[in-house]
Structure 1
Amino acid sequence: MARRLFDSPEYPTVSARGDDLYPVHRIFCVGRNYADHAREMGAEPDREAPFYFMKDAQSLVPSGATVPYPPGTENYHYEMELVVAIGAPVFRGDESEAENAIWGYGCGLDMTRRDLQKANSAKQRPWDIGKNAENSAVMTGLVAASEFGEIGPQRIWLSVNGEIRQDAHLSDLIHPPVAIVEHLSRFYHLAPGDLVYTGTPAGVGPVKPGDVIRGGIDGLPDIELTIGPAE
């Protein structure tokens, strides 16, 4: 009888309403989805279609955690983001089907080894080692889409040690959540358990051990992360 050679980890979860837990299977991320952030990264905003990278589900950590400063970088950046949680299957969906597939929203941090991302970009190599770092996908609990309301006027902000570094509104998104889900469903069978980080506003920057990151989006739980010493 076949047996597994080793125990495999369970899917990580984030809290939802009440005592419910949302198991996370995949994490998709949208790049440069705020015009000012695209420009601060040295690129012109692309309004034609979003583009994506991915993080391992095992990189997920809950808001309030302390994580070690990661290896291999001297320029570790925060990115504050609205996160979409998929709650129904959708493949090649239209706008209505994409909207109905969204279960809810949360706050997320896309932590990034910026020096490694930039070095690989310059060589036209993938971003994985810069973006898919361990402990780099930070998440709050989820709020149902019906409770959160229409995307647009909500403020999105982030502070480091109490100093505001990012401050914008969700209306600044180039590609809003429904458009992202509709587009992404052309390439993947999206399903419950998929999270989509929708991009970050301008103002990204480095953190160091001992720094405390806090952020928020109107109508969602605030997020917090402490950077611990390097291992």
Structure 2
Amino acid sequence: MTERRDELAGNLAKVERRIAAACEAAGRKREEVTLIVVTKTYPASDVRILSELGVRHVAENRDQDAAPKAAACADLPLSWHFVGQLQTNKVRSVVGYAHTVQSVDRSRLVTALSKEAVRQERELGCLIQVALDAGVSGRGERGGVSPDGVEELAALVAGAPGLRLDGLMTVAPLTGEYAGRQQAAFERLMELSTSVRGAHPAATMVSAGMSADLEQAVAAGATHVRVGTAVLGVRPRLG
């Protein structure tokens, strides 16, 4: 356990230096960027160590892994973010532990989240997931709504009981016009964020950037970066 703690502490320190350097290069204050550690596939024991090391935001993408882990770590001062594609049949479970759902991408999901948040008497933070690779279907490969649908969905979230519109999220696309152009993708997300804030001034959160491209996200103006591998190591393959 001591060995794992030392490993995580060293990795966190490296990521912290990267974020600090990226902020300095962008002329931003370090406190403008929040680190979310993506703990998917890693055990609750790692989450506990991260909490001891000062991490306050963790993210998961599969409810079947996240629910027991969140329950095992319920005593810790953590904010849990759900970042995966969310099926409506998992909404009841996710609303039970998540503070923020970053992957809101369709009206049916908004309705389900709202109904369950009201039932559980919780206020749930929501980010609209933007698919910058959206095809004719209006959805991206990894979920998300097309840029054209962002404002309509944002208004739906903002007006839904039990939900709070916090901002926007994206994953750098692997295909389409932004493939290999992470900073351009994140700058497009910032344009959309500015537009959404015109109608919803409190929706200031912009979640973008992961282990490989957090610098580009910070340069573009992201307020939150989601880092997994650079903190926890290369993930074990899921069977």
TM-score using structure 1 length: 0.27
Greater share of residues in helix: 2
TM-score using structure 2 length: 0.27
